[in-house]
Each structure stands twice: as C-alpha cells, then as structure tokens.
Amino acid sequence: MVSQSAENGQELQELADAGLTLCKPVVLVGMMGAGKTAVGTALAALLDVPFLDSDREIEAAANCTIAEIFARDGEVFFRDRETEILTRLLQAAPGVLSTGGGAFLAERNRAVIAKHGISVWLDADLELLWSRVRHKTTRPLLLTDDPKATLTEIYETRVPFYAKASLRVKAAPELSIEQMALRVKDALVATPGVVKTMPVGTASRG
C-alpha cells in the first residue's frame, strides 16, 4: 500500500515536472489559525514564487510587533498601515500573500485585492480554529477574559466577508499543510487566468 505521504511526494514531483506560471498574486484570507502562513509557504514552494506575510511586513516597517502597534497606536492606525502594505505587495511580481484575519473585512482591501490578484478563503470551522489558537498569546484580539467567546464572536462577524473571496478551500483537521497547499493549487489551476501550465521542455512554436 502506498502511504499518503508518498502519494503527496509523487504529486509534488509531478508539479515540479510541469511548468506552472502564476499570472497574478494569490491572497490567502481567513481567520486567525486557519493556516494562512503555513499553507501559503507550502503553496509558494509548489508554484516556485515568493511568499510574503502582510503582518510580518507591517511589523518590519514599524519595527515592532502587531500587538505593540495595537496597544500603542490603536486598531485604526494598524488598519491604515495594513492597506498601504497590501497595496504595495500586490503591485510586485506574482507571489503568495498571507493576510491578517481582519484585512479582508475592509472594502478598500477587497477592492485592491480584486484589482491586482485573486483571493482564496481558507475556511476552517470554529473548533479547529480554537484548537490552534487557544494556547497562543500573540493574538491581541483574544487577550480577553473569555477568549473562546471572543473568537466565536469574531468568527461569526467575519465569515460573511470571507465568503466574498474568489475561491474557497475547506480546511480539515486531518489534512496536512502539504495537502491543504495541494487543494489550493488545484483550485487555482481550475480557475481561468490564474495559473498557466506548460510541460517543461515544451518549446513555443512561432
């Protein structure tokens, strides 16, 4: 019997043997804990393009953490910087971009993403999200007396906005990071104008 990891490895090799060209930036959206950074990193490796994280870019520009920005300058200031960073990153060469959980809620951010790239919602259910974030202290929005209730409220508020994404890929606890990346890749390849596929060694005929 062929193991699941072996099957994944074979598919990854098949992808490496095919010329996959990303035509526009891929923007991963979704809740904290949905796996945007991990899946985005794996997806970028599959497509042989850069991976960027908008939160990390904001931290680098501000020379402090997201939590520190929230505490010092407030959420409005942070959201303005977020839009500036997203706009700059989306105008670079096509790659995979992970966004903060609140980025896609703003109409201005959805508009700039739609103009320059394609949005993909990593759709994880509430219990899966909670299992991933419950022991972390790096989520400023969850620093409350009842973090699960806060997460539930955020989830219920944000899901209708995430549903506006161009593509939706369902997450599941049994799926590895690599399997999720392959799911996203399949969705991108099936969407016209996002990824061009050409076998390596195929020469153009003029």
Check which CATH number belongs to the domain holding 88 and give it.
3.40.50.300
Considering only CA atoms, which of 38, 43, 30, 25 is closest in space to residue 121?
A: 30
In a domain, 9, yes or no: no
Considering only CA atoms, which of 180, 181, 184 is closest in space to residue 194?
A: 184
In a domain, 1, yes or no: no
Amino acid at position 22, single letter: L
In a domain, 129, yes or no: yes
Give me the pLDDT at residue 42, please.
97
In a domain, 4, yes or no: no
Which residues, other chains included, contact 181 with Cβ-Cβ below 8 Å and sequence gap of 6+? 39, 42, 43, 45, 46
Q: Mutual orientation of helices 75-90 and 107-116 as an angle, nearest 10°?
A: 10
Tell me if residue 109 falls in helix, strand or coil.
helix
**How many separate domains does the chain show?**
1
Tell me if residue 30 falls in helix, strand or coil.
coil
What the block records as the tokens of 39 is: 């899946």
Give me the pLDDT at residue 142, please.
75
In a domain, 197, yes or no: no
Domain enclosing residue 117, as ranges:
20-189
Give me the pLDDT at residue 149, please.
94
> What's this model's pTM, rounded to 2 decimal places?
0.84
Give me the pLDDT at residue 10, please.
55
In a domain, 7, yes or no: no
pLDDT (tens, 9 = 90+) of the chain, 206 residues, equals 444 544 555 554 454 445 789 999 999 999 999 999 999 999 999 999 999 999 899 999 989 988 888 889 988 999 999 999 999 999 988 999 999 888 999 999 999 999 999 999 999 999 999 999 887 766 777 778 888 999 999 999 999 999 999 999 999 999 999 999 999 999 999 999 999 876 555 544 43
In a domain, 139, yes or no: yes
Considering only CA atoms, which of 4, 9, 30 is closest in space to residue 163?
A: 30
In a domain, 13, yes or no: no
The residue with tokens 């096509």 is 94
What the block records as the tokens of 191 is: 């969407």
